[in-house]
Amino acid sequence: MQDSKKNHSKKSTQRVATSRKSELGLRESGVHEARWWEPEPGGKVHCYLCPRHCHIGDGQAGFCFIRANEGGKLYSLGYAHPAAVQIDPIEKKPLNHFLPGTRVFSMGTAGCNMGCFFCQNWDISKSRTDQVRSSYVPPEDVVALAIRNGCPSIAFTYNEPTIWGEYVIDICHAAGERGIRTVMVSNGYITREAFHDIYDHIDAANIDLKGFTENFYGRITLTHLAPVLETLEWLKNETNVWFEITNLIIPTLNDAPSETRALAEWILEHLGPDVPLHFTAFHPDFKLRDKPSTPPETLHAARRAAMEAGLHYVYEGNIYSDGAHTFCPACKTMLIRRSWHDVEEMNLKNGCCPKCGLAIPGRWENSEAKGSKRIAREAAELGARYDDLNL
């Protein structure tokens, strides 16, 4: 995953109350019954939330660790139990065409449905819920905390949010009532059966396209490429979600110029030239400590190739670079100047280039939270209960 919970103060990621749910005590602990499953003979259940299609025996959990069969029913163990909560710049997700310069209330749980060897948040993504410290934060309180902290949006991030889709949906309902927007930072590994249930409530997404070969997906992420491409096409053709794409370039594994070129050409053909693409730099982590960090020149070359292929908005991330800025594709005027995750200059006028008037695709307007005075007062009062989150 790209949106690392690292680089920020330790205190803001502090996990407060240990939430322990032994597999034998699931029903007693009040964990949430899951969606997207069906019973099978012998007390097993079939989870069809993601393309792994786990068949889970009684007393066991799926590949992602946080969906468990107890007595022939599937439960969502991550519901209302975030393991990491912090305030980030929206540019860190990364989203460059969605409410630029704003803060986003960001949260993740334990577990993941992919097995990426390079995961930057492996301490939570490779953990079960009883191996991480988490807080109990029901959906309405997530929204109140976002308002209290001046965030116009909430991001489901750090681990894979698809696997806690029930919690995501309930937060989206509460957020929509308060005028707060929602963001998925996802690997795109979701089934057709669950896709609209979740994404019909989402305002923006960043989807990791981790490579462009089945070999890479199979060997390095323990999943498959095709379902991720399908998700991108569903987003484009069937939703109003604003989405951007991230490709983490790892030396020797997915950095071949031919692969980068093929990835850019696929985006152009299937999604069009206006979907922003972020090439980001790898740093050694988890099981891939033997690979070097991505040289900046690799990112520069990838960006050049993708723009030559015809994409309009191609960015470089995890390095300091002019490739972080947004330029008008028609007259080349600099529209947004960034330094790392900071917006230093905003030249867009009503979403258009100030020089040639070209409309720049994105979601540029920041709406106010509804009924803001009363809601702000309630949020301030409620926030005191969560002081130990150190937001």
Binding site for ligand SF4 (CB under 6 A): 47, 49-50, 52-54, 62-64, 67, 113, 163
49 vs 360, beta carbon nearer ligand SF4: 49
* Least Å from the CB of residue 45 to ligand SF4: 9
Q: Which single residue brings its beta carbon nearest to ligand SF4? A: 62
Q: How far apart are CA 157 and CA 168, in angstroms?
A: 11
> Are 303 and 315 in contact, with CB atoms under 8 Å apart?
yes
Q: How far apart are CA 126 and CA 371, in angstroms?
A: 40
222 vs 256, beta carbon nearer ligand SF4: 222
Q: How far apart are CA 185 and CA 206, in angstroms?
A: 5
* Least Å from the CB of residue 71 to ligand SF4: 16
* Least Å from the CB of residue 5 to ligand SF4: 21
* Least Å from the CB of residue 75 to ligand SF4: 11
Q: How far apart are CA 136 and CA 51, in angstroms?
A: 29
> Are 319 and 299 in contact, with CB atoms under 8 Å apart?
yes
- The burial of 228, by beta-carbon neighbours within 10 Å (0-12 exposed, 13-18 middle, 19 or more buried), is given as buried
192 vs 370, beta carbon nearer ligand SF4: 192
Which amino acid is present at 168? Answer: V
> Are 184 and 199 in contact, with CB atoms under 8 Å apart?
yes
> Are 379 and 372 in contact, with CB atoms under 8 Å apart?
no
141 vs 208, beta carbon nearer ligand SF4: 208
* Least Å from the CB of residue 286 to ligand SF4: 18
Q: How far apart are CA 257 and CA 245, in angstroms?
A: 18
3-state secondary structure 102-163: CEEEEEECCCCCCCCCCCCCHHHHCCCHHHCECCCCCHHHHHHHHHHCCCCEEEECCCCHHH
Q: How far apart are CA 271 and CA 98, in angstroms?
A: 18
63 vs 79, beta carbon nearer ligand SF4: 63
91 vs 208, beta carbon nearer ligand SF4: 208
* Least Å from the CB of residue 47 to ligand SF4: 3
21 vs 283, beta carbon nearer ligand SF4: 21
59 vs 272, beta carbon nearer ligand SF4: 59
**H/E element holding 69?**
strand 67-70
For 275, phi then psi, to 5°, come to: -80, 120
Q: How far apart are CA 280 and CA 95, in angstroms?
A: 13
